[in-house]
Structure 1
């Protein structure tokens, strides 16, 4: 990961404008104003290359991958597997370590249910490493997206294991002193986010990974907010599992992925079962394919995978280090500009860690929905609410926040537009 080290220069204004030309939706107007799209943390926009790649597959190759012997099916299978290879290279994995899922939420649940199935004896002796029971512990953090919290709550309920939570300090940073105490001999899995979807900070992943592995625990990394924005190498980070969603990284909805170490995928009982993931079936039992196909039951998301591969190629062509540098500048501009407004509190502003181009904030006396509506009237799209992270908001003493999140196609002027919009919003409601 390149954040925190010397980085190349951010994009020039001319470079950003050239990038923006690749995204048709950015040329539209909303409520009579040019669209200022600052909600990429929820769903990013797609360049023409990605749109065209999915359309080309649909119009020339559409067929059932891994399910036919005719030419079209063979070509669809090749495109599907080429997409897997492209994503594997992008995240620093081997191609047989990448499992296609519908999204990151499904990927996390896949791991949770593999542990659960192993705990009731599925997978045989080989899966013993994944079995949980009373006395075992799962560790996550207080800043997690609900998708990286609720599956572990449910796994603990099914197995009798205990869920432990690393707390936050008053600024919102992980308390690493508490992490050192919580991760111990009983810990079997540590699951945490690489980049907070609320705070925008890059967590000290190397320390957490080292602490987990020191006690023999496995690590799952939620890379939804890092894979689109910084260079990611899962082998170099030494994580055991990682998850991501395509729609946050210029790709379509309905496609995500799980990375898993090959030796772990080989011992994991499947989550979803049915066609395409088996070798032999009788009326009483079945034998499963090796991973990753073991975890890809049913008709797969072939056109979406092809489109996501094109998104990966687009990001690689632009350059992840430069994207990170660009967003770091925009993120600092967001935090500084919003923090300077009277009555605005930027969540996590005091955390001394690298950050991506994202800031969530609370405006004293004005509900985040009102802030969002005011901005939307001016064509500025932001996210409002708890961002699927209620425990984090509760810890910081707010019920909701407004989130502005940038990407490679955003400009400094757009950041200034949201800062000015919030200032006008404050003035409007105070006068009202």
Structure 2
């Protein structure tokens, strides 16, 4: 068993070695995917331990995040294979120009070095992060939440075996064995060892990293995602989109949390929405959505009277806050004030409204007549993702291979000196 400092030293040493070729990396990724499938039974047995330990401690929707079955492991392996088919993000000439003195200045994409990821109870993050890091030419340090540690450990062992089977060092992937808070703080303060730290989880984890890290980090934001139903919306389309955005998988960051409805269509729309999200789900023995309503919406349909806090909460559950607004301007103002700048949408057949909304809303992903659930690296064609960045510097939105690289300048001369 290695402590965190020993892992940091080994990871940094590994990152300083000569880079692997594109083919070597792709071969390793294919071997990792195969090893993952080969070790399905072991991974599932370890996941069962995590599930049993977590019961009655976390909600049902959060248990779903933790849960693995053979199908989900196949999806994880497919994600690794998808990454292997993507272009190599390193070694690309991003720009080149020649100075008057003959110096050729090339800007080249290069690996980041050591990338550390602190995440919570999603075992699939383990394979996604490892695959992207390997393809990006870097070394991966994973710090899983204790709820998912047995699953993550089994996954990492399989991935490391895949690397060794094709002659790549298993030290390209590390899993922190200490699941106390101390190991997270060790990564946050690992200057000289960690080149990039990415938190992936709830608001508490992300804020802790942003406030305490002295190493470079990227904020992967919580998702208080809004859908605004405009007065010119197709109401049937709006109901369908909201049902998907709220109920398909409510425990993820791109699920809808707040619905804003224009006053002109609220009387017609809200009963339709309640019928699908509440009544029909009850009839189908599904969990109904709890509607938390502002005073105007509460006069139109039954539900829980919303508090101010409900419009600033990432529920990650079958709960939807609903507010009636007077205009698109009020909807935009509300979103700008309360959004976490993750994913927000407008449902409208009016092109002027679509343009006004999409050009003004300052979020990483803005949708027109579509569900917010599409904000995902795999769906966006990035293979898989390291997380959804809600900041503006370096990376924004789903973080794929390009966002895990940096660049350097290589200047070629022929004896030039500066006078």
TM tier relative to shorter chain: under 0.3
Q: TM-score, normalised by structure 1?
A: 0.26
Q: TM-score, normalised by structure 2?
A: 0.26
Bigger radius of gyration, 1 or 2? 2
